[in-house]
Chain A
């Protein structure tokens, strides 16, 4: 079981690594958001250039861009995991999944390997986005300002947030990939999910300007949960604006991931079982 899973994970990673265009495409949208949207909407300018006045609206982040950068680190988990679901569809079309399913490899290892491989790439990309956001500040643009001292606990929390969020979306896209046969349908479904998930999260919006009902909606969104953890750990002023500790948000995120893994496992098991 472990050997099968590792062998299949290696296969997925080799494939992902040999198709760098997927990595570039995953990064494109978050980078565009960072260098265009984030720069243009750096709301601090609304207050006569006094970013500090805007701090309560972005829950203790030093600038809107800093707040927004953490949001993009969460969003990249969505854009980078959708390929793992698409790969399932292509593997079905090319008979590769049928061949793998014809071997003694268990459904759990076939699914598990894709979940692991699908989560690794977005974890790296999320930190790349944060690094880029930080670097932009040294290139004469708005950049990510880290105002908290990041200790081991904070570092672990940030990594966990990115990991769990990536696993959750990888499971979601695998669930879709295992239940759909055609690439066109897959991408249509994925597009119908991506934007609503982003737009109902607190990745983009300053929390302070959101209406109450939107805050309720956004607070259950998995991207929000992960992004809250990152913001809590990156910005010294943040904890006073958040009702819960980072662990609570992580727990909520874990619930999302567990539910998604359960659903995806069932769908994968059904797809890999002998056909009726």
Chain B
């Protein structure tokens, strides 16, 4: 590894701007820093400026102004050097359908200058690892969507880059395909301390897989931080207390519990905003018992990124896909269970 100051980010941008035709401002002064080895998610709806930002960082698109430094190299000044050091997986499927999986990887290895003596070993290793070894000598056009994506991931890392860019990498994949894809990305991150920059408009991916996220909307970052921090900024958890009968006294008692930030009322239930709802539930129940108020139920809701997005953009996040919340939960759960995350 090249020597690099410990404080330097793997990806650093300052006031990065992209204006098309002098008028359309696709990216409006984006600044962020990705620490080495982290998975950084760029979350935003379609058209927010995610792909434009990735294209500028990967030297596929010239920035109008601002700076972008990847792995210590200024992208605008040395695009060719940056290309050698990074791996890219594009939004669209770019595997060469007329080549076999193996040929796709061998081509990528040659283009990235992988030493000839290492090509075979690396290609075989990646094919096995991505579970396409059995299909290695089949034309890529016969692959399923998930296999193609894994092949594209393999092609993006065949030269063992230190920074990997993934632009909407799981678009169009079913939950299993997504889980499989992320499994490999997180494994690689852990093994090679690879920095991963990923754009997504899937909230569950941003929440479950990324160490840090930036929410981008209309070409500007409206919020950034660790997913848990962003959610904390909303004022913490919501505990909903449903008394058997309306009780002003209960409201007063609950408001006095240390840790409760505010108490609101909605449809006969009391909504308590608090920093750590789970720990407060026993105190809430005790307070209700002490006040002589019977409870029908107590529920805890942690703020989600949907609410974070709503808070910072004033709009609800819309995902243009059709799988259920259960699918998402299953996928995130599976990957977290096996590989965890650094949070």
Contacts and interface: CB of A to CB of B under 8 A. Distances in A.
21 contacts: A3-B113, A4-B110, A7-B106, A7-B111, A11-B96, A11-B103, A94-B94, A95-B92, A95-B93, A96-B94, A99-B88, A101-B60, A102-B58, A102-B59, A102-B88, A102-B90, A103-B108, A274-B59, A274-B60, A274-B79, A275-B60
B93 A3 contact: no
Nearest to B98: A15
Given A95-B90, A276-B62, A7 B110 contact: yes
B61 A99 contact: no
A138 interface: no
B62 A95 contact: no
B96 to A, nearest CB: 6
Contacts of B92: 94-95
B84 interface: yes
A99 B58 CA distance: 11
A121 to B, nearest CB: 15
A103 B159 CA distance: 11
Chain B: interface size category: 20 to 34
Interface residues of A, number: 25
A4 B111 contact: yes
Interface string B206-217: 000000000000
Chain A contact residues: over half helix, strand or loop, or mixed? helix
B96 A96 contact: yes
A100 B111 contact: yes
Q: List the 3 shortest-distance A-B pairs measured between CB atoms, nearest first.
A: A7-B110, A99-B94, A103-B111
A275 B62 contact: yes
B294 to A, nearest CB: 62
A98 B113 CA distance: 18
Contacts of B83: 102-104
B80 interface: yes
B112 interface: yes
Contacts of B79: 274
Interface string A1-31: 0011011101100110011000000000000
B173 interface: no
Contacts of B90: 95, 98-99, 102
B99 interface: yes
Nearest to A5: B110
A210 interface: no
Given A15-B99, A276-B62, A98 B94 contact: yes
B55 interface: yes
